[in-house]
Amino acid sequence: MTVNGPGDHPRSLFEAPPGTGNGPAALLRVHGLRAGYGPARVLHGVDLELAAGEMVAVLGPNGAGKTTMLRALSGLVRGRGSVLLDGTELLGRAPEEIVRLGVAHVPEGRGLFAPLTVEENLRIGAHLRPAAERAEDMRRVLAWFPVLRAHLSQPAGSLSGGEQQMLAVGRALMTRPRLLLLDEPSRGLAPVATRRMFDVLRAVGSHDRVAMLLVEQDARLALEFTSRALVMESGRLTVGGPAGWPQAGRRPSLFRPGR
Ligand SMILES: Nc1ncnc2c1ncn2[C@@H]1O[C@H](COP(=O)(O)OP(=O)(O)OP(=O)(O)O)[C@@H](O)[C@H]1O
């Protein structure tokens, strides 16, 4: 990891590594992102790039602005600066439009409808998709998360924590995202369930070329499963480097994907 003071970091630390993207252009380009709540400014200029299929973790202390960054990217909090998804500006658009453009957000706490069934929750995720493609979307998600098939008619609230997290991710995948934002996906999960979840996330990311930006408190887990890790402090990304390093067998290169 390389440590840099705010504002003097080499941009390369926050860019998508070569070879992980769809050519020279990153899928996501965030530049100078600022956001907050009323007069309280939380993000003070975030720069970040993400390639298709890349999985990047954002670590950092409580209150640093990680959740706010995800919320700004998905339109839940108003942002200033620039957020380009494949060249299309997302800032200023409604959250539903941003979903339509290919960004899905799994919030902290999962945001499931507990009294509704698993199937109903998944169908809610698909409501913006063309009707003709929803059956295929459902088949794909159940193939990624076979455990959900056995519980399709059960209320979401009756599932275990791990199953609920899979449902939340499955519901997000029903939108066929190009970018998946995950806020603390391991929170409240047993280690076995967490690892299973991350295995599936990695498989989806590399198979479907879904880029993933995840906020994670468990730094060890994040560094093991993602290709890059960034640290947010006081509303800025201040440290970045390759995930996995310095584990044995992994070259300590900033640009080597961790997958
Ligand atoms: N809805 C809100 N209204 C006002 N202030 C908020 C709101 N949500 C968060 N904040 C404040 O914004 C700052 C950043 O919070 P945020 O949740 O983005 O940080 P975080 O890095 O995700 O922290 P944590 O790991 O604790 O979730 C904090 O000072 C927090 O109190």
pLDDT of residue 162: 86
How many angstroms separate the CA atoms of 24 and 22, rounded? Answer: 7
% pLDDT > 90, the chain: 53
Pocket mutation for ligand 1, best pick of 41, 42, 216, 217 (most atoms within 8 Å of C-beta) = 42
Q: Is residue 165 part of a domain?
A: no
How many angstroms separate the CA atoms of 243 and 225, rounded? Answer: 8
Averaged pLDDT for residues 156-178: 92
Pseudo-torsion of CA 76, 80, 85, 87, nearest 10°?
150
pLDDT of residue 17: 55
Q: Is residue 18 part of a domain?
A: no
pLDDT of residue 13: 52
Does residue 3 register a pLDDT over 70? no
pLDDT of residue 10: 41
Averaged pLDDT for residues 7-16: 49
Cβ(40) – ligand 1 distance below 6 Å: yes
How many other CB atoms are found less than 10 A from the CB of residue 195? Answer: 15
Cβ(64) – ligand 1 distance below 6 Å: yes
Q: How many domains does the chain have?
A: 1
Phi-psi region of 92 (alpha: psi -120 to 50; beta: other; left: phi over 0): left
How far apart are the CA of 190 and the centre of ligand 1, in A? 25
Q: Is residue 167 part of a domain?
A: no
pLDDT of residue 7: 40
Q: Is residue 115 part of a domain?
A: no
pLDDT of residue 135: 87
Q: Is residue 139 part of a domain?
A: no
Domain CATH number, residue 58: 3.40.50.300
Q: Is residue 140 part of a domain?
A: no
Interface confidence (ipTM) of the complex: 0.96
- Decide: pTM greater than 0.80: yes
User: What stretches of 156-251 show up as alpha helix (H) in DSSP?
Assistant: 161-173, 191-208, 219-225
- Containing domain of residue 212, as a range? 26-109+174-255
Q: Is residue 206 part of a domain?
A: yes
122-140 pLDDT, tens digit per residue, is 998 777 788 888 888 899 8
41-98 pLDDT, tens digit per residue, is 999 999 999 999 999 999 999 999 999 999 999 999 999 999 999 999 999 999 999 9
pLDDT of residue 239: 79
Pocket mutation for ligand 1, best pick of 33, 41, 67, 73 (most atoms within 8 Å of C-beta) = 67
* Ligand 1 atom closest to Cα of residue 64: 21
Q: Is residue 40 part of a domain?
A: yes
Averaged pLDDT for residues 134-163: 91
